[in-house]
Amino acid sequence: MTYILLALAVFGLITSTVYTGLVLWAVPCYLREGRWARDEEAKRPGFTPPLTLLKPVHGSEPGLEEHLATFFAQDYPEYESSSAPARPTTLAWRRRGVWPRAIHKSR
């Protein structure tokens, strides 16, 4: 029994050491990437990358239309909002032509 516990302890020690080594290896890469991103941002002030908002929808909950409308009223220069209703009978599917800059996909 003691050998099993000892083996488990050694296994835990080895795996945690490997994990710590991976973290210590990744930290400089993370910091370098952050420095690069800040330098790129300084070269292009006011730059905002385009983005996509994905909103999975299941059913018609109370207040769903108001909640979804906030996704399509973003104060962001270039974006698209995409809702993915579970069924074509949901409110998001029925309102697909109402909201601007929206992409709607059915499963």
Residue 104 has pLDDT above 50, yes or no: no
Q: What pLDDT, in 10s, does the model give residues 44-100? A: 877 777 888 777 777 667 777 777 777 777 777 777 777 666 666 556 555 555 555
Beta bridge partners of 56: 84
Gap between the Cα atoms of 78 and 51, Å rounded? 7
**Do residues 41 and 3 both lie within one domain?**
yes
Q: Which domain holds residue 97?
A: 51-104
Number of domains in the chain: 2
Residue 88, CA distances (Å) to 15, 43, 55, 79, 83 in order:
48, 45, 15, 24, 11
**Do residues 96 and 62 both lie within one domain?**
yes
What's the predicted TM-score (pTM) here? 0.42
Residue 23 has pLDDT above 70, yes or no: yes
**Do residues 4 and 39 both lie within one domain?**
yes
**How does residue 17 score in pLDDT terms, banded at 50, 70 and 90?**
very high
**Do residues 34 and 6 both lie within one domain?**
yes
